[in-house]
Amino acid sequence: MQWRGRRESGNVVDRRGMKTMGTLGGGGIILAILYALLGGDPSAIVDSGRETTPVNTNDDQTRFLRVVLADTEDVWNRAFQAVGRTYQEPKLVLFSGRVQSACGMASSAVGPFYCPGDQRLYLDTDFFQQLAGKLGAQGDFAQAYVIAHEVGHHVQQQLGLLRQGSSVATELQADCLAGYWARSTQSMNQSLEPGDVEEAMNAASSVGDDALQQASQGYVVPDSFTHGSSKQRMAAFRQGFEAEDFRNCDTNPAG
C-alpha cells in the first residue's frame, strides 16, 4: 500500500507504555476533584494525564496506522453522506499489554477489538507480529485489513446493526465492510499495490476461527466459531470488495 506522504488521522490515541493504574498522581487527583467541584468532567484531566506521553509516535508503524485510519475516515464520511447520514469518526487506541476501555479491562490476548460503549478501536501493535509470524499473514495490507475490520464494527454500531455479543453474521459483515473500504480507498487514492488484496484475503483467512484454533490448539472445533471460517471470511471480504454500495453487505455472505 502506498501510504508515505499521505494524510494522517488525528484520531489515534497512543497509550503504549502507559501504566493502566496509578498514572494519576496526588496533584492530579486534587486537580480532578477541584475540576469536578467546578462542574467539569474530571475524566478530561484523567484522560489527558494518560494520553499525553506517547512512545515514539512517529515511527513508520504508527504513521502507517494513522494513514489507514484517515483512509477509513475518507471512505466512510463519503459513503455515509451518500445515504444522507453523518459518520462519527472513531478513535483508535494503541496500547501495550493491558488497556482500560468502557468495555472493561482488556489484555492483548483478546486481539484487536472494538468497544461500542466508547466507540473506540483498541489495538496492541504487537498483534501484527503474531499476524505476520504465527498466523502467516504478512504485508502492510494485512494490517490495514485488521483496522478496516474493526472500523467495520464501528460502521455497524453507527447504523444500529451491532447487536449485543458477537455472532458469525456480524463478523462476516465487518469483513464485507472492510472489503468495501479496500475497493473504495483504491478508487479514491489509487493507493493499493499489486498483492495488497491478496494480503488482505490471506489475513482474513488467517484470522478465521478455524485457523486461529488450529494455531492455538492444533485442532478445530466448528461449534465454537464466532468469527466464521477462513473460507467464509475471504468470501465476505471479496463480496465487499466487489460491491458498488456498502449496503450490499447487508446480506449474509455465507448464506
Site for Zn ion, residues 55 to 84, rule: CB under 5 A:
none
By beta-carbon proximity to Zn ion, the closer residue of 65 and 148 is: 148
Q: How far is the CB of 58 from Zn ion (least distance, A)?
A: 29
Closer to Zn ion at the Cβ: 8 or 171? 171
Write down the number of H helices and E strands in the chain: 9, 6
**Residue in 229, 226, 237 with CA at minimum distance from that of residue 201:** 237
What is the four-CA torsion angle of 150, 216, 222, 109, rounded to 10 degrees?
Answer: -30
Cα 8 to Cα 11: distance, rounded to the nearest angstrom: 9
Residue closer to Zn ion by CB (options 45, 137) is: 137
User: CB of residue 35 vs Zn ion: minimum separation in angstroms?
Assistant: 36
> What binding mask, one character per residue, do residues 124-163 give for Zn ion by CB under 5 A, x or -?
----------------------------------------
Q: Give the interface segment with Zn ion, choosing from 55-63, 167-175, 214-222, 228-236 (CB under 5 A).
A: 167-175
Q: Which stretch binds Zn ion (CB under 5 A): 104-112, 172-180, 211-219, 230-238?
A: 172-180
Interface with Zn ion (CB under 5 A), residue total 2
Task: Choose the binding region for Zn ion from 71-79, 170-178, 214-222, 230-238 (rule: CB under 5 A).
Answer: 170-178
Look up cell 466487489; give the residue. 242
Name beta bridge partners: 105.
Answer: 100
> Least distance from C-beta 115 to Zn ion, angstroms?
12
Using the rule CB under 5 A, give the single segment among 49-57, 82-90, 130-138, 164-172 that binds Zn ion.
164-172
3-state helix, strand, coil in the chain (%, to 5): 55, 10, 40
Q: What is the 3-state secondary structure (H, E, C) of 112-131?
A: CEEECCCCEEEEECCHHHHH
Stretch that binds Zn ion, among 23-31, 101-109, 169-177, 208-216 (CB under 5 A): 169-177
Residue 128 CB, shortest distance to Zn ion, in Å, is 16
Task: List Cα–Cα distances, 161 to 9, 79, 164, 223, in angstroms.
Answer: 25, 16, 10, 24
**162 close to 170: Cβ distance less than 8 angstroms:** yes
Binding site for Zn ion (CB under 5 A): 171, 174
